[in-house]
Amino acid sequence: MSKKNPVWSFFASVKLAIVLLILISAASILGTLIPQQEAAGPFISRLSPGVADILRSLQLFNIFHSAWFMLLMALLATNLIVCSLNRFPAAWKRFRKEPEPDQADLFEQIPADQTVISETPLKEETDRLENLLKKKLKGVRRRDGSDHAYLYGEKGSYAHFGVYIIHTSVLILMAGVVIGFLFGFEGYVDIPEGESAAAVALKGGGGTKSLDFAVRCDRFFIDFYENGMPKTYRSDLSFVKDGRVVQTSPVLVNHPVTFAGIRFYQANYGMIPSGDPIMVVTEGDKKIKDVKVAIGMEFDLPGKKAKVQMIRVEENLMGMGPAVKLNIQSPAGQVQIWIFQAIEQIHQANPGLIEQAPLFNPSLFKPYVFSLDQANKQYYTGLQVMQDPGVPIVATGALVMMIGFLVVFFSSYRQIWIRLDSRGDKTRISIAGKSNKDAVGLDREIRKWLDAVKLNKESAS
């Protein structure tokens, strides 16, 4: 492909990369300011329908899964690939390049302390240093002159590729995300204790997905700390295939369980009422009585010498759920009230109802409060159900990125030149170096070699 091609040079520019990164950042900021997906509902209801429609058509309530966000990501991926392809040959050339050992100009401005005098003659000293260099450095080369010699060695030439390792890792990460998006799913299922489910609701209203096995919740369990904070949520699950229990595992928060490649997470829980209805009487915070609900049932309230009778029992009164009508007979007179099971919801939907209709006030006969309840409560567990074949790929990408970071940030390409000049039966040794970055590290490297040369001198004398 021609590198003069305008499309190619558009994608090969780092400016484009920076613009794309800024656009992705801006979109992400927007995504944290505008409520997204399920959370968007209440926000949308406060907008005028026209504005809401415009925002919806721009996919601003689902930015991170919108077509234009994906487009930005695809552009970034293309940009990364083209940029890397464009620059790789230069890096390869730098990697393959074998610099001349005799670069006299390098030694012109080195500090005086990078030169030492050795007691051994030129030939012997050069041989010794060459061996030393070969042990520690790569690409060691030598050039002998009549009264001088040059040695060259380098290390960290792989550092030329660090950037490509990081960019490849980003592409691997993106590939993993795409694979998860295409071949994975995310769903939810609520299972009451003792019951089974063989299908899950897909996230974002995407219908249901049936599983080729059933999950049974044998037990749901909550434990609390002394101060009332929750300590453990746990579901004991059984996986049933062809009518047979294949696996039984507990699922806790932070400890999901995998069955047939699908992971189950403890995500939620709740209670559903079941069993016979009962009438509960409380005084302050104290529960003083519970009575089975049935027409004609009578009980006493000792504190007020009152006698209570259930005169009507309705399954669903005026569409407001189960209700019981009480007749309370006391020395002060006679009172009748309706007790609803769903009193809280009714109260929320119709604020001020109790003030308007004392007939519906469960605490009319002070100090007692009546409520309807059910004898048993049953827990249900809320499980999140996931399958994401992209996870191992994403993990590989993360690992490769860390390797790239090590290469780019914590290693550098260092070149060392040594010049040896004959001074009679002694030798003058000068050391120079170059590095693609990290001048401090290079200086340390040069000092190390100076020390090695001096040590050599001492051991020889």
Say how far apart CA 315 and CA 326 lie, in whole Å: 15
Q: Tell me how many degrees the CA angle 332-336-339 measures, rounded to the nearest 5.
A: 130
With H, G, I as helix, E, B as strand and everything else as coil, classify residue 249.
strand
Q: Is the dihedral of CA 130, 131, 134, 136 positive or negative?
A: negative
Closest CA to 106 of 150, 62, 52, 159: 150
Say how far apart CA 416 and CA 431 lie, in whole Å: 7
Q: Which of 255, 292, 423, 454 binds other proteins (CB under 8 A)?
A: 255
Say how far apart CA 8 and CA 12 lie, in whole Å: 6
> What is the closest distance, in whole angstroms, from the C-beta atom of residue 267 to other proteins in the complex?
7
Closest CA to 313 of 285, 341, 335, 293: 293
CA 190 to chain centre: 24
> What is the closest distance, in whole angstroms, from the C-beta atom of residue 15 to other proteins in the complex?
8
Token pair for 26 = 């801006």
39 binds other proteins (CB under 8 A): yes
Nearer to other proteins among residue 32 and residue 461 (C-beta) = 32
> What is the closest distance, in whole angstroms, from the C-beta atom of residue 346 to other proteins in the complex?
28
Q: Which of 384, 427, 435, 456 binds other proteins (CB under 8 A)?
A: 384
304 binds other proteins (CB under 8 A): no
> What is the closest distance, in whole angstroms, from the C-beta atom of residue 29 to other proteins in the complex?
6
Contact 343, 361 (CB under 8 A): no
Q: Which of 64, 95, 181, 183 binds other proteins (CB under 8 A)?
A: 64
250 binds other proteins (CB under 8 A): no
Nearer to other proteins among residue 22 and residue 198 (C-beta) = 22
Beta-bridge mates of residue 301: 306
> What is the closest distance, in whole angstroms, from the C-beta atom of residue 243 to other proteins in the complex?
28
21 binds other proteins (CB under 8 A): yes
Say how far apart CA 183 and CA 390 lie, in whole Å: 8
442 binds other proteins (CB under 8 A): no
> What is the closest distance, in whole angstroms, from the C-beta atom of residue 8 to other proteins in the complex?
18
> What is the closest distance, in whole angstroms, from the C-beta atom of residue 180 to other proteins in the complex?
9
Residue 407, C-beta contacts closer than 8 angstroms, at least 6 positions apart: 158, 159, 161, 162, 165
401 binds other proteins (CB under 8 A): yes
Q: Which of 220, 265, 380, 413 binds other proteins (CB under 8 A)?
A: 265
> What is the closest distance, in whole angstroms, from the C-beta atom of residue 42 to other proteins in the complex?
11
Residue span 124-163 as binding mask against other proteins, x where in contact by CB under 8 A, dash where not: ---------------------------------------x
197 binds other proteins (CB under 8 A): no
Phi then psi for residue 159, to 5 deg, are -60, -20
Residue span 213-242 as binding mask against other proteins, x where in contact by CB under 8 A, dash where not: ------------x-x-xxxxx---------
254 binds other proteins (CB under 8 A): yes
18 binds other proteins (CB under 8 A): yes
- Region from 30-38, 53-61, 212-220, 272-280 binding other proteins, contact rule CB under 8 A: 30-38
186 binds other proteins (CB under 8 A): yes
How many amino acids of this chain bind other proteins (CB under 8 A)? 45
> What is the closest distance, in whole angstroms, from the C-beta atom of residue 191 to other proteins in the complex?
16
Task: Give the strand order in the sheet containing 138-144.
Answer: 115-118, 426-435, 414-423, 148-155, 138-144
Contact 246, 239 (CB under 8 A): yes
Nearer to other proteins among residue 31 and residue 192 (C-beta) = 31
Helix, strand, coil percent values for the chain (each to nearest 5): 40, 40, 20
Which pairing describes strands 298-301 and 148-155: parallel, antiparallel, or unpaired? unpaired
Which 402-431 positions form the footprint of other proteins (CB under 8 A)?
402, 405, 409
290 binds other proteins (CB under 8 A): no
For 120, other C-beta atoms within 10 Å of its C-beta total: 17
Q: Which of 75, 252, 354, 450 binds other proteins (CB under 8 A)?
A: 252
Closest CA to 310 of 278, 287, 332, 284: 278
90 binds other proteins (CB under 8 A): no
Residue 223, C-beta contacts closer than 8 angstroms, at least 6 positions apart: 230, 231, 232, 234
268 binds other proteins (CB under 8 A): no
398 binds other proteins (CB under 8 A): yes
22 binds other proteins (CB under 8 A): yes
78 binds other proteins (CB under 8 A): no
With H, G, I as helix, E, B as strand and everything else as coil, classify residue 28.
helix
Closest CA to 441 of 405, 416, 404, 459: 416
Say how far apart CA 227 and CA 437 lie, in whole Å: 56
Q: Which parts of this chain interact with other proteins (CB under 8 A)? A: 14, 17-18, 21-22, 24-25, 28-29, 31-33, 35-36, 39, 64, 163, 177, 186, 225, 227, 229-233, 252-256, 263, 265-267, 384, 386, 388, 391, 394, 398, 401-402, 405, 409
